[in-house]
């Protein structure tokens, strides 16, 4: 696999003189879908509970009474091999870390967002 640091932050391109840090969104190139920072920078918390088996292919959330939650996508302090949206790992729910975050979702089509507003 070819590593292309033009699309994501990982441990080989995140050093800022005195340490590794998360970066503002949008400094790297967007992916083929026009989305920025889908891999690397910070691990993304997912709603799924951790399971050794992959989650259902139908896109449903995996829920259990367990305390581990899925995180995906790698982070600025970790190697490029983790910087893929398909890479799954886990942490206990409630863990706080400079390496873990979440994605804020906005309107899919901002030009038409007025059609979906809840007034």
pLDDT digits (tens, 9 = 90+) for 47-95: 888 877 765 566 667 777 788 998 999 998 898 899 888 888 999 988 9
Separation of alpha carbons 61 and 11, rounded Å:
30
Could you tell me the residue range of the domain that residue 35 belongs to?
Answer: 1-119
Give the CATH number of the domain where residue 58 resides.
3.90.1580.10
Considering the entire predicted model, what is its pTM? 0.71
How many structural domains does the chain have? 1
Residue-wise pLDDT tens digits, 27-54:
999 888 888 888 888 999 988 888 777 6
Separation of alpha carbons 23 and 89, rounded Å:
21
β-strand pairing of 43-49 with 100-101 = parallel
How far separated are the first and last CA of the chain, in Å rounded?
48
Separation of alpha carbons 101 and 81, rounded Å:
19
């Amino acid at each position: 696999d070819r590593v292309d640091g033009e699309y994501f932050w990982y441990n080989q391109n995140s050093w800022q003189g005195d340490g590794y840090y998360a970066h503002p969104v949008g400094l790297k190139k967007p992916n083929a879908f026009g989305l920025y920072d889908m891999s690397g920078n910070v691990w993304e918390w997912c709603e799924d509970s951790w399971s050794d088996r992959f989650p259902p292919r139908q896109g449903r959330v995996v829920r259990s009474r367990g305390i581990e939650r899925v995180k995906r996508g790698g982070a600025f302090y970790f190697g490029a091999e983790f910087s893929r949206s398909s890479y799954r790992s886990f942490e206990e729910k409630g863990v706080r870390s400079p390496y873990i975050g979440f994605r804020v979702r906005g309107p899919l089509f901002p030009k038409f967002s007025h059609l979906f507003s809840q007034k």
